Each structure stands twice: as structure tokens, then as C-alpha cells.
Structure 1
Amino acid sequence: MSDTQFSTNKAPQPVGLYPHARRVGNLLFLSGVGPRKAGTDEIPGLKTDKHGNFIEFDFAAQVHSVFENVRVILEESGSSWDKLVDVTVFLVDMKRDFHIYNKIYAEYFKTNQPCRTTVGIVSLPTAIAIELKCVATVD
């Protein structure tokens, strides 16, 4: 069974020593993917003052960005959005953000509907409000 790791500079760099994705057989496992922009530490929808205090927060912008990052990693690893079979989402504020996530999720998954798990957590390693863990197939 083949085992290949993938990383790309078209997605945000991991915050630790791990690849963006790993293919085992015909399955592609993505490491946790957040909404940061590739090549920077910019978090879409998040504006802070010079002291790091929040000025503005747009959760929907983070959802769109994390979906784009997942799409890029899938394509760079030889898969695609329509081959996703499982999505686990981690939300820092389930009460505030779940309904927004659910609405945007429905826009992106009209035809392909992978299995899905949503987990509320206390925090993530950077100042992001969402992270996805995905599994897809590869031909």
C-alpha cells in the first residue's frame, strides 16, 4: 500500500512538524486546516489593534477561507472537493458560530455530502475560530 506525504506553499504553513496531507492507498487524510492565508499569518475576518486586541471579527470570512484552503490542499494532493468523504469541524464558539457554519457549509456541499462531525472546543493553536480535518478519496 502506498504512503505519500504532501505539502504546498499554496496553503497556510502548518504550525508544527506535519504535512498538509498524507495519502495511504486511495485515501487522502488532511491535517487540520485553518483559515490563515497562504504565505502569511493573516486571518481573514480578524482585525486587531497594535496590542493584539480584537477590533473586528467576521466568522463567515474564516469559513470561506478554510474551505478554500481545503480545496487547494486537495487539488495539490491529487484529489478534489467532490471526493471528500468525511469532514470534522472544530469550532471555538459553537453557540455563536454553528448556525453560520451550517449555512455556508450547505452552499459548498450541495451535491457532494460527506459525513460530518462538528465539535465545540475551547481554543485552537492560533487566533482562529475554525479548523477542519478531512478525508477524501484519490483515484
Structure 2
Amino acid sequence: MSLDTIRTERAPAPVGAYPHARRVGDLLFLSGVGPRLPGSGQIPGNLTGPDGTLAAYDIDAQTRQVFANVRAVLEASGARWEDLVDVTVFLTDMARDFSVYNRIWAEHFPDVDTAPCRTTLGITALPTPIAIELKCVAALRRA
């Protein structure tokens, strides 16, 4: 079995010792992808208070950026957005953010028959001050 490791500067650097993605046969497994900006690591829509703690965030901005980051990893892997088959979504405030996330999801996947499967989980925290993270699997086309 061949394992190909994928890293790209077009997506934010991983926050730990892991690759952006790993290809195994015709499947592509993405590590958790958050909304940090490539290069700077800034988090779109985060506002900090005078003491440096998170005061507010914009789930719309973070969702759009996390989708852009997923797309960058897919493209670096030779895959396309349409190749996604399964997405696990982690939200730190399900009650507040799910409807916004769901609306943006529908913009990016307007046809339910071709959209990937999806599981959305409400969790208490992520490793950096982000409100959303995606874990994705794509099926790659044979050449």
C-alpha cells in the first residue's frame, strides 16, 4: 500500500506534528483543518480584549476561510472540492453557530445528491481559539 504525504504553503501550517493530508490508494484523508490564514496564522473574525483573550468571533468568516483552506489542501493533493465524500464538522458553539454554518454549507454544496456525507459535532474547545474545524475524506479519480 502506497502512502503519500501532502503538505502545502497554500493552507495554514499544522499546529502539530502531522501532514495536511495523506493519500492511501484512491482515498485522501485530510488532517483537521481550521480557519487560520495561510502564512500569518491570523484567525478571521476573532476579536480580542485588552488582556488578549478572545472577546468575540465571526463564524461566517471562519467558515468561509476553513472551506478555502480545505480547497487548498485538496488542490495540493490533486483533488477537487467535488471529490469530498465525508466531512466531520466540529463547532465550539452548536446552538449559536450551526444555522450560519449550515447556510454556508448549502451555498458550497447546493445539490444534496452530490454533497458529501456530513456529521456535525458540538465540542467544548479546539486547540487554538477557533470556532470551527473540519475533518475531510475525498475519493480520488483514477488517471
Question: Which range, TM-score by smaller chain?
Answer: over 0.9
* Structure 2 gap segments, 5+ residues each: none
For 1:108, the equivalent position in structure 2 comes to 108
Aligned residue identity for 2:13: Q
Shift of 1:31: 0.2
For 2:40, the equivalent position in structure 1 comes to 40
Shift of 1:49: 3.6
Shift of 1:57: 2.0
Q: Give the root-mean-square deviation of aligned CA atoms.
A: 1.1
Higher deviation after alignment, 52-61 or 69-78: 52-61
For 1:80, the equivalent position in structure 2 comes to 80
State the number of aligned residues: 139
Give me the whole-angstrom Cα distance separating, in 1, the residues matched to 2:28 and 2:98. Answer: 26
* Structure 1 gap segments, 5+ residues each: none
Q: Identity percentage over the alignment? A: 60
Shift of 1:88: 0.4
SS at match of 2:73: helix
SS at match of 1:133: strand
1:40-77 C-alpha deviation (Å, 9 max, x unpaired) = 12000112144213344211000000000000000001
For 1:121, the equivalent position in structure 2 comes to 123
Matched, 1:67 2:62: no
Higher deviation after alignment, 90-99 or 38-47: 38-47
TM-score, normalised with respect to structure 1: 0.96
Give me the whole-angstrom Cα distance separating, in 1, the residues matched to 2:83 and 2:122. Answer: 25
Higher deviation after alignment, 38-47 or 26-35: 38-47
Give me the whole-angstrom Cα distance separating, in 1, the residues matched to 2:33 and 2:48. Answer: 22
TM-score, normalised with respect to structure 2: 0.93
Q: Is the 8 A contact 2:54 2:129 kept in 1?
A: no
1:61-109 C-alpha deviation (Å, 9 max, x unpaired) = 0000000000000000110100000000000000000011001000001
For 2:133, the equivalent position in structure 1 comes to 131
Matched, 1:16 2:25: no
